[in-house]
């Protein structure tokens, strides 16, 4: 299902492609020429097969300046491509993992649903009961909803669990119960992330503390 989040992601990719075109067509050559003037040398982009696309000095130039130009070209190339990509993708990934884009999408479309309360009993014999209070705050009915764990880790004994699919009428609030399972988790308290999805669209993410007693 393609929603506003996927469209926004596609626009970011398109903008990055546009930046790459502009970088290679305009910015890179201007930056190289600017630094070449400061170094009192002339540079040009190589068209040779072995080093096509790289900038080299023109004429009889000391080896130090020639090497400096090649190093500078590599740095500019890395900053303009990998650097910009990291500047966009890392914050975008962290922002997406927070679940905020999907919550905003739900608000814009008038389909928000949330986990009002989440209670997890102490885990005994590798099992614990979970009771989640879910509220449909949207303008339409919410269908094919599910509450589930949203990560999987060996540290907590691979705690996982999910509810059966359920529907919520407009304005309805309901308590959903399911079982949280684990495989020989060490005793202690663990932070476990839970997510609410409706029609495979993330609506809410919440963290609960789970106590392992036996």
Same-domain status, 24 and 52? yes
Q: Is residue 103 part of a domain?
A: no
Residues 6+ apart with CB under 8 A from 99: 195, 202, 204, 205
- The per-residue pLDDT of the chain, averaged, comes to 89
Q: What is the pLDDT of residues 160-172, one digit of tens each?
A: 999 999 999 999 9
Q: What is the pLDDT of residues 83-113, one digit of tens each?
A: 999 999 998 888 877 777 877 788 787 788 9
Res 209: pLDDT: 93
Same-domain status, 118 and 207? yes
Q: Is residue 102 part of a domain?
A: no
What is the model's pTM? 0.66
Q: What is the pLDDT of residues 187-210, one digit of tens each?
A: 999 999 999 999 888 888 889 999
Cα 120 off chain centre by? 28
CA quadruple 198, 202, 203, 206: dihedral, nearest 10: 120
- Containing domain of residue 35, as a range? 4-97
Q: Give the total number of structural domains in the chain.
A: 2
Same-domain status, 66 and 146? no
């Amino acid at each position: 299902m393609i929603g506003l989040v996927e469209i926004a992601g596609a626009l970011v990719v398109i903008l990055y492609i546009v930046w790459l075109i502009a970088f290679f067509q305009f910015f890179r050559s201007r930056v190289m020429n600017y630094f070449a003037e400061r170094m009192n040398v002339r540079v040009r982009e190589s068209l040779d097969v072995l080093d096509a696309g790289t900038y080299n000095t023109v004429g009889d130039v000391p080896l130090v300046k020639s090497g400096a130009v090649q190093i500078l070209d590599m740095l500019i190339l890395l900053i303009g491509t990998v650097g910009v990509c990291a500047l966009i993708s890392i914050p975008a990934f962290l922002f997406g993992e927070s679940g905020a884009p999907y919550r905003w999408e739900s608000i814009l479309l008038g389909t928000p649903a949330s986990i009002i309360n989440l209670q997890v009993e102490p885990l005994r014999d590798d099992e614990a009961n979970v009771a989640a209070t879910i509220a449909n705050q949207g303008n339409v009915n919410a269908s094919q909803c599910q509450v589930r764990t949203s990560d999987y880790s060996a540290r907590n004994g691979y705690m996982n669990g999910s509810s059966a699919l359920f529907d919520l009428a407009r304005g309805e609030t309901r308590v959903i119960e399911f079982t949280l399972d684990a495989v020989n988790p060490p005793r202690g308290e663990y932070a476990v992330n839970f997510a609410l999805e409706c029609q495979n669209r993330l609506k809410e993410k919440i963290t609960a503390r789970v106590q392992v007693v036996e």
